[in-house]
Structure 1
């Protein structure tokens, strides 16, 4: 069976993160610039030999310019020295009808840790323009401190300002090439 290359359709995909602020509300942010390439045998994602995702740190958007600037600073992502978040997938494991686990290595600020994401596979369709597309919802959670994002402050009452847990969520549409 021939190798198939898939690339992300950025117009129909989004990558977001959520973090608790003051432990009472959740702030949502997005990466506006990202890339994903996948190589499979035929249309079977369990055979993926390449899963490579990158997000540009400079593209972070939380709908607050001051907060975005702080996230890009050395207190957090240090965009000047570490321009990309990188995920290299090494195994797509089907766990049920339409569900899977995506195992791989996530790199933030030159720190690489193994992570596993839950995947909901929506299937493959041909769009009105004749393009073959595959759809996925990807979810997971990481500890930001494990990746060197340790900045925090404490309120007068002793509450932390930013939680350690970061929830990641992706709506992914891939386009089959060739």
Structure 2
């Protein structure tokens, strides 16, 4: 199997959630590590992928909100400092489109998830290095991971939706 490293300056682990049911708040995790190994990067069927994300690296571009998210009210980063993902299976849907199955762990609660994953191509960069791109997305119900903080609004509805969209953009290079 060939191993790959993430180009962190050209990759993003992001999320979005509906706020007050009228807009979306977007955020990223700025610190993470990953292992990626696969025989054929374009086929992906035997891919072994794992991620470890530092919860305290969350950024929504609002300091007070970020502090709240890492507090005991939400992620409780002091007690649960990492979010992890370990792949369990890859299914080819069609050319360059895959279903990446795996176990997502947040607050020591593990649930299966499926990322709709697209191989976006490869190039040789200006330094002669092989570069491959991927886009992956899924939606989780935050309550399944005991992320239950919320506030009822006077106008009806809630402050934060239960559904969280996760979007990942990766550029990787062979090691």
TM-score by length of 1: 0.94
Structure 2 residue corresponding to 1:130, chosen from 128, 131, 146: 128
Mapped partners of 2:63, 2:149: distance in 1: 18
Secondary structure of 1:175's match? strand
- Shift, 1:42, TM fit: 4.3
Deviation track 1:96-137 (CA, whole Å, cap 9, x = no partner) reads 112111000000000000000101111232222222221101
Pairing 1:20-99 to 2, within 5 Å after superposition: 20-43=18-41, 44-48=43-47, 50-99=48-97
1:110 is matched with 108
Q: Return 62-71 or 152-161, whichever deviates more.
A: 152-161
Mapped partners of 2:29, 2:77: distance in 1: 13
TM-score by length of 2: 0.95
- Shift, 1:91, TM fit: 1.5
Q: Return 89-98 or 64-73, whichever deviates more.
A: 89-98
Secondary structure of 1:150's match? coil
Report how many residues are paired: 174
Structure 1: give runs of 5+ residues left out of the alignment. none
Mapped partners of 2:121, 2:81: distance in 1: 33
- Shift, 1:145, TM fit: 0.4
Secondary structure of 1:45's match? coil
1:154 is matched with 152
Q: CA RMSD in A?
A: 1.1
Mapped partners of 2:90, 2:5: distance in 1: 16
Secondary structure of 1:47's match? coil
Secondary structure of 2:170's match? strand
Mapped partners of 2:130, 2:145: distance in 1: 36
